[in-house]
């Protein structure tokens, strides 16, 4: 089957996040972020997403006392901060025309509540987008990708404090103004639904700081503040830079029932609705009734200001961006059923699908189903901003990395995407492979869970030369992006 570039302005790219690649954790005025408190903890079962990504106050104090990078993987990342020109030059060789990255909030406002921005931080990102412009690569910028200034945790209640809305607005508006000549596509908050999965690493919520409150209440109230903040960014762009497009961004998994037992089908439908709630609010501009009902049943009363409803309505996203890695299978009663070792959902094992080294079940058709579902629900342009395979890669003595399993994963997902584009009547802006160079995994703080098209010589303890080596998947993507090539 021959596949070409779908059309001239289709965005073929790669994606990453500041806290997972940059390093330079305390350089040029950058303040400490929540990501700088996360350690690789081999003793913890990485399937337990929450414990890997949650911190208690004692652990944060320990992080504050330790100025080293040893064991603090996200403090060194893969040193993209100093290598960005060479990394971008190499990635440009593949023929990509878009590159998604995030801005480390604490590089711009070191404490989050500073009166003035850190110019060195602003200039770093201005130089980055200028480097991309050299190769005609379109930036897609995520403003918040798990990089909140730690001070907002220590001296405020993180996103639970409504002041975070104005702090985030100030950060967003400052960056948008500074980069507006180079950046057209913006994503305010990465996987805004991840606050439910890992409230600390995504929203700075430390459970033991809310002793006298129902933590579930805290999470949902913080979620509301993030929705209002994201909606304000949409309005800022629309009011000041009409050519800009602002997308919402959610974690997308297809949820299948374990079998055709209506009880299991109903369970899958309920879990799927929870997936939709976050994009519903940001696209439709209001809370869906089913979520309001759920909050009522949980006795969670959100505190809203009179302007919030208007903000959400005016802040409807221009496009729906999402990450897609795997589908999940669910059952009304999982007793006796085999569960996956995945750390994202702990779903029931789907015997029809293979699984990755980390137990994420590999389902290319699930990507097509997601495209159909999301487009039919919102009738807005879609954007796959993350799709990739975290795997154990081996660096051969000759510097090659034969990651045919990643090529297999990517080619099957891209094939389903292109079939959907040609047969399902969807609107799709682009596709970004998650993984530029290898990076530090969000959920396990490991580099050994490798995603990159370029291998980085580094291990989970931070030992290595940081040298880069192109994997077979790098050359494969280059071949794919050259016009007229069949998907190999």
Binding segment toward ligand BGP, per CB under 6 A, in 199-207, 282-290, 347-355, 439-447: 439-447
Question: What is the pairing mode between strands 98-102 and 468-470?
Answer: unpaired
Place of tokens 């990504």: 53
User: What is the pattern of x (binds ligand BGP, CB under 6 A) and - over residues 191-220?
Assistant: x-----------------------------
Shortest separation between residue 353's beta carbon and ligand BGP, angstroms: 17
Binding segment toward ligand BGP, per CB under 6 A, in 218-226, 236-244, 421-429, 436-444: 436-444
Question: Does the protein bind ligand BGP through residue 449 (CB under 6 A)?
Answer: yes
Among 114, 280, 363, 386, binds ligand BGP (CB under 6 A): 386
Residue 354's CB is within 10 A of a number of other CB atoms, namely 11
C-beta of 442 vs 453, nearer to ligand BGP: 442
Q: Cα–Cα–Cα angle for 482, 486, 488, nearest 5°?
A: 100
Among 151, 190, 282, 345, binds ligand BGP (CB under 6 A): 190
- C-alpha torsion 51→55→58→59, nearest 10: 90
Question: Does the protein bind ligand BGP through residue 101 (CB under 6 A)?
Answer: no
Q: How many residues does the chain have?
A: 488
Distance set, CA 63 to CA 38, 55, 67, 237 (Å): 8, 10, 8, 36
The count of residues interacting with ligand BGP (CB under 6 A) is: 13
**Rounded CA gap, 44 and 63, in Å?**
18
Alpha helices in 213-327 (DSSP H): 215-240, 262-284, 289-297, 308-314
C-beta of 209 vs 252, nearer to ligand BGP: 252
**Rounded CA gap, 76 and 349, in Å?**
35
386 is catalytic: yes
Short-list 105, 222, 257, CA closest to 170: 105
C-beta of 407 vs 440, nearer to ligand BGP: 440
Which of 22, 138, 147, 386 does the annotation list as catalytic? 386
C-beta of 146 vs 236, nearer to ligand BGP: 146
Short-list 353, 446, 436, CA closest to 391: 446
CB 430 within 8 A of CB 98: yes
Among 11, 14, 17, 281, binds ligand BGP (CB under 6 A): 17
Binding segment toward ligand BGP, per CB under 6 A, in 32-40, 293-301, 437-445, 456-464: 437-445
Question: Does the protein bind ligand BGP through residue 323 (CB under 6 A)?
Answer: yes
Shortest separation between residue 100's beta carbon and ligand BGP, angstroms: 10
Shortest separation between residue 17's beta carbon and ligand BGP, angstroms: 5
Question: Does the protein bind ligand BGP through residue 443 (CB under 6 A)?
Answer: yes
Residue 396's CB is within 10 A of a number of other CB atoms, namely 10
Place of tokens 């969000």: 442
C-beta of 217 vs 436, nearer to ligand BGP: 436
Question: Does the protein bind ligand BGP through residue 441 (CB under 6 A)?
Answer: yes
Short-list 114, 166, 153, CA closest to 311: 166
Among 204, 390, 430, 462, binds ligand BGP (CB under 6 A): 390
Hey, which residues are catalytic here?
386
Query: Could you list the residues that contact ligand BGP (CB under 6 A)?
Result: 17, 20, 190-191, 251, 323, 386, 390, 434, 441-443, 449
């Amino acid at each position: 089957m021959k596949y070409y570039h779908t059309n001239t302005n289709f965005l073929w790219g790669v994606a990453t996040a500041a806290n997972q690649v940059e390093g330079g954790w305390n350089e040029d005025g950058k303040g400490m972020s929540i990501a700088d408190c996360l350690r690789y903890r081999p003793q913890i079962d990485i399937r337990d997403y929450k414990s890997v990504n949650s911190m208690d106050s004692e652990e944060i104090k320990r992080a504050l006392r330790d100025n080293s990078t040893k064991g603090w993987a996200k403090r060194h990342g893969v040193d993209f901060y100093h290598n960005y020109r060479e990394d971008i030059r190499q990635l440009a060789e593949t023929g990509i025309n878009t590159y998604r990255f995030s801005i480390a909030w604490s590089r711009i406002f070191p404490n989050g509540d500073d009166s003035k921005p850190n110019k060195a931080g602003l200039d770093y990102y201005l130089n980055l987008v200028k480097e991309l412009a050299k190769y005609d690569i379109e930036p897609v910028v995520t403003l918040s990708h798990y990089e909140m200034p730690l001070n907002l945790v220590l001296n405020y209640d993180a996103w639970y404090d409504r002041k975070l809305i104005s702090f985030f607005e100030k950060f967003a508006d400052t960056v948008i103004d500074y980069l507006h000549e180079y950046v057209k596509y913006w994503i305010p908050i990465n996987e805004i639904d991840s606050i439910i999965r890992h409230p600390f690493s995504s929203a700075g919520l430390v459970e033991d700081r809310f002793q006298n409150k129902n933590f579930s209440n805290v999470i949902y109230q913080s979620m509301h503040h993030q929705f209002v903040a994201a909606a304000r960014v949409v309005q800022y762009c629309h009011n000041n830079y009409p050519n800009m497009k602002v997308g919402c961004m959610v974690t997308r998994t297809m949820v299948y029932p374990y079998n055709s037992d209506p009880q299991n089908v109903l369970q899958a439908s309920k879990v799927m609705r929870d997936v939709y709630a976050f994009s519903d609010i940001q696209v439709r501009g209001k809370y869906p009734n089913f979520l309001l009902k759920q909050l009522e049943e949980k006795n969670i009363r959100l505190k809203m200001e009179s302007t919030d409803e208007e903000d959400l309505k005016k802040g409807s996203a221009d496009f729906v961006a999402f990450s897609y890695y795997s589908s999940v299978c669910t059952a009304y009663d999982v007793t006796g059923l085999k569960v996956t070792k995945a750390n994202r959902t702990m779903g029931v094992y789907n015997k029809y699908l293979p699984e990755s080294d980390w137990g994420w079940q590999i389902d290319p058709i699930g990507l097509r189903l997601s495209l159909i579902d999301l487009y039919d629900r919102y009738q807005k342009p879609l954007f796959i901003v993350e799709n990739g395979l975290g795997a154990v890669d081996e660096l051969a003595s000759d510097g090659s990395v034969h990651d045919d399993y990643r090529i297999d994963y990517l080619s099957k997902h891209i094939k389903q995407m292109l079939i959907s584009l040609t047969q399902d009547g969807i609107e799709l802006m682009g596709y970004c492979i998650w993984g530029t160079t290898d990076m530090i995994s969000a959920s396990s703080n490991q580099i050994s869970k490798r995603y990159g098209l370029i291998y980085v010589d580094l291990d989970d303890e931070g030992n290595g030369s940081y040298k880069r080596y192109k994997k077979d998947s790098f050359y494969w993507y280059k071949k794919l992006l050259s016009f007229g090539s069949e998907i190999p």
